[in-house]
């Protein structure tokens, strides 16, 4: 079995990681390519009274044992009104030691990219809560100067457009994936991998495969539906039809500006950071 995208599971439960890996292997694929987590997904499973950070660490350690060759995204967390880029770098440096195959999730904000610009020279990163092509332009430039090749390998950089949350607002979230891929491909440097996230249904998977999104992260429930349907793949003339959703047009954006000059603001990024913090706090207390 072959997919043009790496297949990740989006969740907080190692049992799902294991099951998805087994299903993929039974289907003739080499297994799950990676796992994304976030504070909400971890909070959902945390027993009351548990030390939240220890629980997060234990969870990703279990996941890491199941898919030692995949990457596992671990997020930085903090009060959005006070979290500094220095604190994010410090959290990143700590979290990257949790497992050998971790990758650090930083938010798609000015402070998040300040931290990314520093930390991408030290370890792999996944820029999360992305909702616009312009934000993706900033991510591209901020991470352009990666550390020199080490043993033939560079630290990976992912960007995670959250398609489902744009759909929820009546916008065609998958357009952001299509637009970013087009922009990055036009520029010719593939140092940022596009990870389609906030996937809600099988058509999201099919269109992401059709677009050759570098990675797709899929909640277990949707993954199961796709697997039960025989891991359907899109035909060459696949049409992603989403009546009722407003298209997000492609914009000509040059990738040669200072990254701070791009408009990084998106309401859904701010809402998302706050929601992650609130969900995390529910277990910290
Ligand atoms: O990968 C991102 C994902 O966890 C967010 O998904 O469904 O909360 O928008 P959702």
Q: 188 pLDDT exceeds 80? A: no
Task: State the pLDDT at residue 152.
Answer: 61
Measured distance CA(72)–CA(8) in Å, rounded? 9
Task: State the pLDDT at residue 46.
Answer: 94
Would you kindly state where each structural domain of the chain is located, as residue ranges? 6-281
Provide the pLDDT confidence category of residue 5 given band limits of 50, 70 and 90: very high
CATH number for the domain running over 6-281 = 3.20.20.70
- Mean pLDDT, to the nearest integer, of 264-273? 98
105 as an active site residue: the answer is yes
Tell me the pLDDT tens digit for each residue of 57-96.
Answer: 999 999 999 999 999 999 999 999 999 999 999 999 999 9
Asked whether the beta carbons of 82 and 103 are under 8 A apart, the reply is no
| Ligand 1 pocket, residues with Cβ under 6 angstroms | 10, 36, 38, 162, 164-165, 197-198, 217
Asked whether the beta carbons of 198 and 162 are under 8 A apart, the reply is yes
CA of 272 to the centre of ligand 1 (A): 9
Which residue's CA is the closest to the ligand 1 atom numbered 10?
198
Q: Which of 26, 57, 105, 153 is catalytic?
A: 105
CA of 188 to the centre of ligand 1 (A): 29
CA-closest candidate to residue 36, choices 133, 127, 119, 116: 127
Task: State the pLDDT at residue 48.
Answer: 85
Which of ligand 1's atoms lies nearest the C-alpha of 217? 1
Q: 148 pLDDT exceeds 70? A: no
Tell me the pLDDT tens digit for each residue of 41-61.
Answer: 999 999 988 899 999 999 999
CA of 152 to the centre of ligand 1 (A): 33
Q: 147 pLDDT exceeds 70? A: no
What does R_g of the chain's alpha carbons equal in angstroms?
18
More confident residue, 75 or 189: 75
Which residue's CA is the closest to the ligand 1 atom numbered 8?
198
CA-closest candidate to residue 265, choices 171, 138, 170, 104: 138
Which residue's CA is the closest to the ligand 1 atom numbered 2?
198
Q: 166 pLDDT exceeds 80? A: yes
Asked whether the beta carbons of 154 and 143 are under 8 A apart, the reply is no
Q: 150 pLDDT exceeds 80? A: no
Strand partners, 193: 158
Which residue's CA is the closest to the ligand 1 atom numbered 3?
198
pLDDT averaged over the chain?
95
Which residue's CA is the closest to the ligand 1 atom numbered 9?
198
- Mean pLDDT, to the nearest integer, of 24-35? 97
CA of 54 to the centre of ligand 1 (A): 22
Task: State the pLDDT at residue 131.
Answer: 98
CA of 150 to the centre of ligand 1 (A): 32
- Mean pLDDT, to the nearest integer, of 254-276? 97
Task: State the pLDDT at residue 209.
Answer: 98
Q: Which residue from 40, 42, 223 has its CB within 8 A of the most atoms of ligand 1, so it is best to mutate?
A: 40
């Amino acid at each position: 079995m072959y997919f043009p995208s790496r297949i990740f599971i989006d969740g907080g439960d190692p049992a799902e990681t294991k099951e998805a890996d087994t299903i993929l292997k039974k289907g003739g694929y080499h297994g799950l390519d990676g796992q994304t987590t976030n504070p909400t997904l971890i909070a959902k499973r945390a027993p009351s009274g548990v030390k939240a950070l220890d629980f997060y660490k234990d969870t990703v350690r279990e996941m890491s044992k199941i898919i030692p060759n995949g990457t596992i995204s671990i997020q930085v967390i903090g009060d959005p009104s006070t979290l500094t880029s220095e604190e994010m770098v410090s959290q990143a440096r700590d979290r990257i030691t949790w497992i050998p195959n971790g990758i650090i999730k930083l938010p798609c904000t000015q402070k998040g990219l300040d931290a990314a610009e520093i930390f991408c020279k030290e370890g792999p990163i996944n820029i999360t809560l992305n909702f616009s092509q312009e934000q993706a332009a900033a991510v591209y430039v901020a991470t352009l100067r990666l550390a020199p090749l080490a043993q033939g390998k560079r630290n990976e950089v992912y960007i995670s457009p959250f398609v489902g949350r744009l759909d929820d607002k009546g916008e065609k979230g998958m357009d952001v994936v299509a637009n970013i891929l087009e922009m990055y491909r036009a520029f010719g440097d593939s140092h940022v991998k596009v990870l389609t996230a906030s996937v809600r249904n099988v058509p999201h998977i099919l269109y992401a495969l059709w677009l050759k999104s570098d990675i797709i992260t899929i909640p277990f429930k949707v993954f199961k539906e796709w697997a039960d349907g025989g891991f359907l793949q899109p035909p060459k003339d696949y049409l992603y039809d989403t009546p009722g959703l407003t298209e997000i047009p492609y914009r000509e954006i040059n990738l040669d500006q200072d990254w701070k000059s791009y408009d990084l603001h998106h309401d859904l990024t701010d809402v998302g950071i706050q929601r992650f913090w609130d969900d995390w706090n529910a277990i910290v207390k």
